[in-house]
Structure 1
Amino acid sequence: MPCSWCFKRTVPCRMAASSSRCAECVRRGRSCDGSSVASALTKLMSEQKRVEDQEADAEEELFVLQTQLQTVVGRLARLRRQKRFLKERGSELLRRGLQSLDELEGELESLETNATTDAHSLGVPASVDWSSFGLDLSEADLAALADPAPLDGPGSSGETLPVSQGSGGS
């Protein structure tokens, strides 16, 4: 490598025998940076190689991260589509369920109307006058008759009642 003085003057720079300076610097009695330029160039080239290697590593890492990002973004998009589909499907089922519930209520009302109409056509009165049968039933009695719940008391739990022995037995 030419030293700085030789390089500026475009003079050929040759190292002197048994010296770390170039022949021109030795002849002029100057300090020579020829050997330090070579070592600096070597350091510079090795540093440049190190940076290029780090750049390649960073590019490879970036590629891996971009691939992972694309995978995650794709998964997120798929999950959002599934979520939207499930919400739409749930809404549709709810609407369909409410519609069928309305239909069932309509059928029930129709059956009740038909049953009342059928009972009237058979001669069953709309309300019964229980007193005409000799029964004096209050509203509470009628409600108790309409409620099929078991009565509390002996025999309601399946136990048998004791039979009393009469005095004039067989």
Structure 2
Amino acid sequence: MSQNLQSKSRKTLERIRLADSIAKFGFNVMPCSFFPRLSRESDRLEQAEEEAEEKLLKAQQEVNEAIARLSRIRRQKRILRERGIQSIVDGMNSSAGDLIAQEEDAAVLDVQSFGGTDVIDWNMVFGSLTSDVVGESSSGVVGH
């Protein structure tokens, strides 16, 4: 039998001894001293994972806020540029209108200085009031 034991591998012999021990003393499993260490390591890794996830969520929120801020600044810049362009256009139109009015005033003064007395455009002064009355009789105005 000893020759038979020597031909078996070391692992096989270990299994046989463990089987004999179980048969002799019963199947009571002793707590493994390795398990609490694994449990603590697992808990530590879980906590580290949660912290990393919280940092990621916070960073994502900061990125979202930065994107919103950038978008808002770009929109304000675009609106400011549009208002500036519109202001320039309005100023040019206003100055062109002022220039035309100045030229008309100068022309009227020139004509009046040479003796022209009837160069005032009364339609401009009174607007549509004169056009309503012109061409009607006084009885039409009164309602007779």
Give TM class, smaller chain: 0.5 to 0.7
Quick one: which of 93, 99, 102 aligns to 1:105? 99
User: Which one-letter code corresponds to 2:58 in the other structure?
Assistant: V
Quick one: which of 50, 69, 73 aligns to 2:63? 69
Quick one: which of 79, 90, 98 aligns to 1:85? 79
Rounded to whole Å, the distance in 2 between the matches of 1:84 and 1:64 is 30
Q: How far off its partner does 1:122 sit? A: 5.5
Structure 1: gaps (5+ residues): 15-22, 25-34, 124-170
TM-score by length of 1: 0.49
Structure 2: gaps (5+ residues): 1-10, 23-29, 118-144
Residue 95 of structure 1 pairs with residue 101 of structure 2? no
User: Which one-letter code corresponds to 1:116 in the other structure?
Assistant: D
Higher share of residues assigned helix: 2
Q: How far off its partner does 1:9 sit? A: 4.2
Q: How far off its partner does 1:96 sit? A: 0.4
Residue 56 of structure 1 pairs with residue 45 of structure 2? no
User: What is the number of equivalent residue pairs in this alignment?
Assistant: 99
> CA 1:121–1:9 in 2, change beyond 3 Å: closer, same or farther?
farther
Query: Which protein, 1 or 2, shows the higher relative CO under an 8 Å CA cutoff with sep ≥ 6?
Result: 1
Q: Percent identity?
A: 28
Quick one: which of 110, 114, 120 aligns to 1:120? 114
Q: Give deviations 1:53-83, integer Å, cap 9, x for gaps.
A: 1010110111122112212211211111111
Tell me how large the CA RMSD over aligned residues is: 3.2
Q: Give deviations 1:30-58, integer Å, cap 9, x for gaps.
A: xxxxx9xx344432332222111101011
Secondary structure of 1:121 counterpart? coil
TM-score by length of 2: 0.57
Equivalent residue number for residue 123 of structure 2:
none
Bigger Cα Rg:
1
Q: How far off its partner does 1:12 sit? A: 5.2
